[in-house]
Structure 1
Amino acid sequence: MVYRTKTYIAGEWDGDQDAIQKLHDWNDNKFWSLSFTDAHDLMQANDGSLNCSIKSSLATRLNASKRFVLIVGKNTKSARSGGCQYCNSYNRWTGSCARGYSVDIRSYIQYECDKAIKDELDIVVLYNAATVDKSKCPESVKNIGNHVAMCYYKDGKYYWDYNAVKEALS
């Protein structure tokens, strides 16, 4: 039996760094009562690593996790980073890996979502927006888990909605 205690946070880093950072800010600040242990603290992959090596590192973190949190923004569904077809070791003529590894054309985000479902993790989908727009969510988790907007709109401004996020993660 696997002992799972961590929370795994996934998202399209380039577009949703602010939302991911806000979760960490709330978690690290003693004023807020949000509390989770980030699975990414276990190990870090080198940005120069092969996509398959990075996915192996992601699997190790997911294997220690009980909860999967996906941050959905405008580019999440279309993110393609992580697919073997974008690796220098991928042979486009044969569709194989020059290093002998198995080929996986899924993006990092799709890989993470699929593994979270397969491992039956608690799934929370947080939208980096004031509304839940499932058309921006990857198909595999579109109708699974708890979907919540991370923001609200009031008096012409957007605000982070700590209470909604805390409730979703409780």
Structure 2
Amino acid sequence: MSYHNKVYVSMDADNDLMYYRLMQAWKQNDNIGFNFFDAHDINNIYDKSEESIKAGLQERFRHSKAFVLLVGEHTKYLFKYVRWEIEQAIKRELPCIVVNINGKRSCDMNLCPALMRDHLAIHISFNARILQYALENWPESASRYLNNGEIGPFYYDDNVYKKLGL
């Protein structure tokens, strides 16, 4: 039986891995109300050929219920894996959460990969509370928007951030 409860996180691993590691640290910290089931825990990819890497990533996608894209300075230039991961998330109709590590609370047209700018996704700032809120609430909203044929970037208004103490 396959469980689809994981969160697939995509990022510029050369420049933004520390933000992914911080998400893992939030999960481990009992004083921060953040939790996610990381799809990267599913398998270790030892063979570094592109074919093997993508096969391993496909396995992670098969167990994922949401897609998180960490957007940094160079993310939009990454085509080999990040663009491929975005394409996989779209093809699988996974709820997409775009996290701006620069703190922007809406779609950053200068940094967000073009494919994700025009796709149904919630764009948020990098913070444990708003990311947890999005993981808990966006999938249902995304499903509703998808069923209504709505696309494009969405964002939470300031009231949501205020409610979360941000």
The interval holding the TM-score normalised by the smaller chain is 0.7 to 0.9
Residue 168 of structure 1, aligned match among 112, 121, 134: 134
Aligned residue for 1:18, secondary structure, equals: helix
CA-based RMSD of the aligned residues comes to: 1.7
Q: 2:7 is matched with which residue?
A: 7
1:50-81 CA-partner distances (Å, limit 9, x unpaired): 1111011001001100010010000001124x
Indicate yes or no: 2:121 matched with 1:145: yes
- TM-score where L is the length of structure 2: 0.74
Alignment: residue pair count: 133
Structure holding more strand per residue: 1
Superposition pairs for residues 11-90 of structure 1, below 5 Å?
Answer: 11-46=11-46, 49-80=48-79
Q: Which runs of 5+ in 1 are unaligned?
A: 81-106, 151-160
Give SS of 2:35's match: coil
Larger Cα Rg: Structure 1 or Structure 2? 1
Runs of 4+ in 1 over 6 A off after TM superposition: none
1:112 shift after superposition:
0.7
Q: Give the partner amino acid of 1:76.
A: T
Q: Deviations over 1:76-109 (max 9, x none)?
A: 01124xxxxxxxxxxxxxxxxxxxxxxxxxx111
Larger helix percent:
2
Identity %: 31
Q: Unaligned regions of 5+ residues in structure 2, if any?
A: 137-166
Amino acid at match of 2:124: V
Mapped partners of 1:27, 1:136: distance in 2: 27
- Structure 1 position 2, deviation (Å): 5.9
Using the alignment, how far apart are the partners of 2:19 and 2:13 within structure 1? 9
Q: Please say if residues 71 and 111 of structure 2, whose CA atoms lie closer than 8 Å, have aligned partners that are also in contact.
A: yes
Once residues 49 and 32 of structure 1 are traced to their aligned partners in structure 2, the CA distance between those partners, rounded to angstroms, is 35
